[in-house]
Structure 1
Amino acid sequence: MPLRSLLLGLSVTVIWGFNFSFIKVAEDGFHPFLLATLRFVLTVIPAIFFFPRPKVPFKLVLAYGFVFGALQFGLLFAGIAAGLSAGLSSVVLQLQVFFTILLGVLLMKEHIKPWQIAGVVLGFSGVAVTGLVQDGSVTIAGLLLVAGAGLSWGLANVIVKKAKPADPVGFMVWASTVPVVPLAIVTVLVEGTDSVRTSFSHLSWGIAGAVLYLVYPTTLFGYSVWNGLLRRYPTSLVAPLTLLVPFFGMAGSMLIFGEELTVLKVLAACLMILGLCVNQFAGRFGAKPAPAAAPATEPAISVATLSDSAEHTGDGR
Structure 2
Amino acid sequence: MSRRDMVMALIVMVIWGFNFAVAKFGLRDFSPIFLMCLRFASVAVLLLPFVRIPRGQMKEIFILSVLLGSLHFPLMFTGLTGVDAATASIAIQLQVPFSSILAAVLYRDRLGWKRGLGMAISFAGVIVIAGEPRALDNTFYLFLVIVAALIFSIVNIQIRRIGDISGFALNGWMAIMAVPQLFVASLLMETGQWQQLHTATWLGWSAIAYMAVMVTIVSYLMWYPLVRKYPVNQTMPWTLLAPVFGVISGIFVLGEPMTPAMIVGGALTLVGVAVIVIRKAPKQNQNQSVT
Give the shorter-chain TM-score range.
over 0.9
Within 2, Cα distance between the matches of 1:206 and 1:113?
Answer: 46
Partner of 1:311: none
CA contact (8 A) 1:84 1:137 kept: no
Deviates more, 1:46-55 or 1:243-252: 46-55
Aligned match of 2:204: 207
Task: Quote the residue 1:17 is aligned against.
Answer: 17
Are the counterparts in 1 of residues 90 and 243 from structure 2 also a CA contact under 8 Å? yes
Look up the equivalent residue of 1:220 and give its one-letter code. Answer: I
Structure with more of its chain in helix, by fraction: 2
Secondary structure of the structure 1 residue equivalent to 2:29: coil
Are the equivalent residues in 1 in contact too, given 2:86–2:248 (CA < 8 A)?
A: yes
Question: In 2, are the aligned partners of 1:133 and 1:265 still within 8 Å (CA)?
Answer: yes
Question: Structure 1 16/138 Cα, relative in aligned 2: closer, same or farther at 3 Å?
Answer: farther
1:314 aligns with: none
**Unpaired segments of 5 or more residues in structure 2?**
none
- Name the SS of the counterpart of 2:9 in structure 1: helix
Give 1:243's match in structure 2, choosing from 222, 226, 240. 240
The amino acid across from 1:129 in the alignment is: V
TM-score with structure 1 length normalisation? Answer: 0.87
Aligned counterparts, 1:33-112, within 5 A: 33-81=33-81, 83-112=82-111
Offset, 1:14: 0.4
Secondary structure of residue in 1 paired with 2:200: coil
**1:228-267 correspondence to structure 2 within 5 Å:** 228-267=225-264
d(CA) in 1 for partners of 2:39 and 2:266? 28
Q: Is the 8 A contact 1:105 1:112 kept in 2?
A: yes
Q: Deviations over 1:12-42 (max 9, x none)?
A: 1001000001111101100001001111111
How far apart, CA to CA, are the structure 2 residues paired with 1:95 and 1:70? Answer: 20
- The alignment partner of 1:180 has SS state of helix
Question: What residue is the counterpart of 2:121 in the other structure?
Answer: 122
Pick closer, same or farther for the CA change 1:136–1:271 going to 2, 3 Å: closer
How far apart, CA to CA, are the structure 1 residues paired with 2:25 and 2:247? 15
The answer to whether the Cα contact below 8 Å between 1:131 and 1:138 also exists between their aligned partners in 2 is: no
The question of whether the paired residues in 2 share the 8 Å contact of 1:85 and 1:137 is answered with no
- Please report how far the alpha carbon of residue 109 of structure 1 lies from its aligned counterpart in structure 2 after TM superposition: 3.0
Q: Secondary structure of 2:133's partner?
A: coil
